[in-house]
Amino acid sequence: MILCANPAAQFQSYQDEIEAAVRRVVRSNRYILGPEVEALEREFAAYIGTGSAIGVANGTDALELAIRALDIGPGDEVITVSHTAVATVAAIEACGAVPVLVDVDPTYFTLNPDQLPEVLTSRTKAVIAVHLYGQAADLDAIGQFCAGNGLALIEDGSQAHGATWQGRRLGSIGNIGCFSCYPTKNLGAIGDAGLITTGDEKLAHKICMLREYGWRQRYISDLPGRNSRLDELQAAILRIKLRHLDEDNAKRQRLAAHYSTQLAGLPLQLPAVRKHAEHVYHLYVARTGSRQAVIDHLKAHDIHAGVHYPMPVHLQPAYKGRIRTANSMAVSERFAQEVLSLPIYPELSIEMADRVVAALKDAK
């Protein structure tokens, strides 16, 4: 069986290191926000290129705490895309803020900056740029729009750990970067985890307070915070995987290049790489007008593809009819019918990728 993603395979790659780290933590008597978290925060900040990194419970919390740290709340508006994981929008609403959704561009699947002026109001406070599938949104255009209108720029890098824009790591360019470390991510825990990056020392201090009840000193809440603490076990595991992240991303890139070469000429729209960006292929997403038939054909060959995502947020039952959008959301709506995620993860061999290619060539 070939899975779309396989986090268990990565555990097996680093099993001895991970099990040694777990033993170290369980014998330490420090299980929450201890030395492993502190070390991970230093190491991830150095890797991304920011002054600070803050460990939190998951990627949705990372976005929510980032929004709260920017003093965005009830009545304020935050612009983001509809073609994304619903977590991006859920985090905005968790703060009491109002999500406003725009379409994605038709080539790179990321936020269409041309629509930003259309949805701007006096209540707009921030833009969340989602670096979908493993490569950067157009941060030049989005950044210029934010700077020109006094808006904060939050990077959602949950699918793009290690990717770059103009030579800089994603998560170091906006006011705040947010990362999920869900097990299938490029930097994945064995459980839930998240990270926030920023070069603003005051914001970093505020986020640290917000993740633990608004405490400046224990048991005294100076801010109305919440509980979003990263545990030592996940931090220890992430420290190991962070040391291997560039190597694992390189494996993803080689697999993606192999797919793109071998699948050229088939009735598939293959992913494009934005100029000045390094794509780390959290997902290898093609497009096809006969998606279900292709999925069924692959499944018959014991190959499991994915769909990221089958319905844009603005059409989902929880949000339909109550979220303001740009006038046209045609690209997101079309992509939801066409996107197909092929198996890709560092442990996938070229031989296994060739099985995927052969099955796709055989599809009718």
What pLDDT does residue 363 have? 86
Tokens representing 34 are 């201890």
Chain centroid, CA 12 distance in Å: 24
**189: closest CA among 234, 220, 251?**
234
Q: What is the CATH number of domain 7-243?
A: 3.40.640.10
Distance CA 154, CA 53 (A): 14
How many residues are listed for the chain in this entry? 364
Contact between 115 and 142 (Cβ < 8 Å): no
Cα atoms found within 13 Å of the Cα of residue 36, Cβ hemisphere only:
27
- Residue-wise pLDDT tens digits, 307-335: 999 999 999 999 999 999 999 999 999 99
Q: What is the pLDDT of residue 364?
A: 65
Find out whether the peptide bond into 281 is cis, omega within 30 degrees of 0: no
Q: Is CATH 3.30.460.90 correct for 245-362?
A: no
Q: Are 300 and 279 in contact (CB under 8 A)?
A: no
Alpha helices by DSSP H, listed for 158-284, are 201-210, 232-243, 245-262
What pLDDT does residue 26 have? 96
Tokens, residue 250: 């390189």
pLDDT per residue over 16-31, tens digit each?
A: 999 999 999 999 999 9
Q: CA 185, 201, 79 angle in degrees (round to 5)?
A: 55
Distance (Å, whole) CA 313 – CA 315: 5
- The proportion of the chain whose per-residue pLDDT surpasses 70, expressed as a percent, equals 100
Q: For 259-296, what is each residue's pLDDT tens digit?
A: 999 999 999 999 999 999 999 999 999 999 999 999 99
Residue whose token pair is 């729009």: 145
Distance CA 47, CA 67 (A): 23
Domains of the chain: which residue ranges? 7-243, 245-362
pTM of structure: 0.97
| 136, 158 Cβ separation under 8 angstroms | no
Hey, what amino acid is at 208? C
Nearest to 266 by CA among 175, 191, 359, 177: 359
Is the pLDDT reported for residue 5 higher than 70?
A: yes
257 token code pair? 């290049």
